[in-house]
Structure 1
Amino acid sequence: MKIKLDIVSGFLGAGKTTLIKKLVTEGYKDEKIVVLENEFGKVGIDTDILKNTGVEVEEITAGCICCSSSGDFLSSIEDIINKFSPNRIIVEPTGVAKLSEILRACNDFKFKGLFEVNNIISVLDVKRFDFVASYSKVFVDDQIAVSKTIVLSKNIGVDIKHIEDIYSYIKNININANIINEDIYNISGQN
């Protein structure tokens, strides 16, 4: 059976790690999981949070996995498969990763028989959406375009009109996206 590969993307502070923690503790708790994080700093802040879940956490800190170091990304995936033999790999790229490039790397012929891309989830911080989209529109639009599911996080107390505008923005880019407008702490990791 092929290993499932999930990608959970979003900008810094949007709620990616919180969502991943819910997935591994609620939805995938009976699976052998490895989380591959892409951090820019020397020490991954999220690693300690995720290690408390009992899953293996591997890091790429040498740059963005979608760019010049995509070879590092593919090597890391291969190393994870050989070292841990997981049922599922969850990839948490940095917020400035182009998901389309990550998916292109995942479609490398070398890995066709090893894993299949399963979930592609983007977490968008509703409160910071306009600001983030204003300086990183290319990355935001790319995340929206290739995501199967988009979680609108940090939506408590936000004007419904603003959320409706974001919903329309998303649907103009990706009509097929499943949009979840729910406080991230209330989302069930089982769905």
Structure 2
Amino acid sequence: MKCMLIGGFSESGKTTLIRKLVEHLGKQGQKVAVIADEIGETGINGDTISEGEVETREITSDCVYCPLKINMEYTLRNLIASYNPDTIIIEPTGITPPGQIKRNIENMGIPGITFAPIVNLVDASRLSQKTGELQNFMINQIGEAEILGINKVELINNREELLEICLFLRKLNPRARMIHFSAQQGGENLDKLIELLEKTSRREVTLSRENSIQISGVSAYSS
């Protein structure tokens, strides 16, 4: 069973990306479960179903959404027992470090769980205006990501602005793979991100500083 952690700041586009992931995995015949803190921003609607010991909402015939109302271990164990998903997508709140959630799950001793690379999304249009004003928890989330997803690139003005964002993020995290895309509009780079999330472990996505900027597509970006 694969566990995907999709972190990011408020309004960075996590919900839209999760919807695209659910659609993609569903087409592959996978059963998917989405877990989000009840004070998070997922906003995924569906009919409540009473299977198992945790409240779940059916999004599609192959996907359920589970609000995190008790604790992660209780929710995970009961969700696995009642629904047995192929993939679990976890959306933390904006201030919760995804890396800490991963470490907590690893310590639970639940057999058969593997992890996709940790993703942290940033809103390109908002980050470009406040690169010098990030709070410590934001810096920490960027620093522990294995993939930095620069979302909403359709809202920034030009290639140079995108390059500045990439260089700023690279200073905060010299190891992560960076990829820019529009979750709303889709496209080749979003497909690349989904492909990366189907991999396992840091080694498969880590690139050198130079290559990660080049492969992120900045050199090919045009306004």
TM, length-normalised to structure 2 = 0.69
Kept in 2, the 8 Å contact 1:25–1:53? The answer is no
- Taking structure 1 as reference, are residues 128 and 82 closer, same or farther at Cα in structure 2, changes over 3 Å only? same
**Structure-2 residue corresponding to 1:125:** 123
Cα distance in 2 for residues equivalent to 1:125 and 1:61 = 28
- Taking structure 1 as reference, are residues 172 and 21 closer, same or farther at Cα in structure 2, changes over 3 Å only? same
Q: CA deviation at 1:11?
A: 1.7
Cα distance in 2 for residues equivalent to 1:132 and 1:98 = 20
Cα distance in 2 for residues equivalent to 1:28 and 1:190 = 13
**Structure-1 residue corresponding to 2:22:** 24
Cα distance in 2 for residues equivalent to 1:46 and 1:34 = 15
Kept in 2, the 8 Å contact 1:133–1:140? The answer is no
Cα distance in 2 for residues equivalent to 1:7 and 1:58 = 15
**Structure-2 residue corresponding to 1:56:** 64
2:143 maps to 1:145? yes
Q: How does 1:62-141 map to 2 (within 5 A)?
A: 72-111=71-110, 113-129=111-127, 137-141=135-139
Kept in 2, the 8 Å contact 1:28–1:190? The answer is no
Q: CA deviation at 1:146?
A: 2.2
C-alpha RMSD of the superposition? 2.6
Q: CA deviation at 1:83?
A: 1.2
Gaps of 5+ in 1: 63-71
**Structure-2 residue corresponding to 1:181:** 180
Larger of the two Rg values belongs to structure: 2
Give the number of the structure with larger relative contact order, counting CA–CA contacts within 8 Å between residues 6 or more apart. 1
Cα distance in 1 for residues equivalent to 2:162 and 2:6 = 21
Percent of aligned pairs with the same residue? Answer: 22
Amino acid at match of 1:114: G
Amino acid at match of 2:100: E
TM, length-normalised to structure 1 = 0.79
Paired residues, what number?
177
Gaps of 5+ in 2: 47-56, 196-223
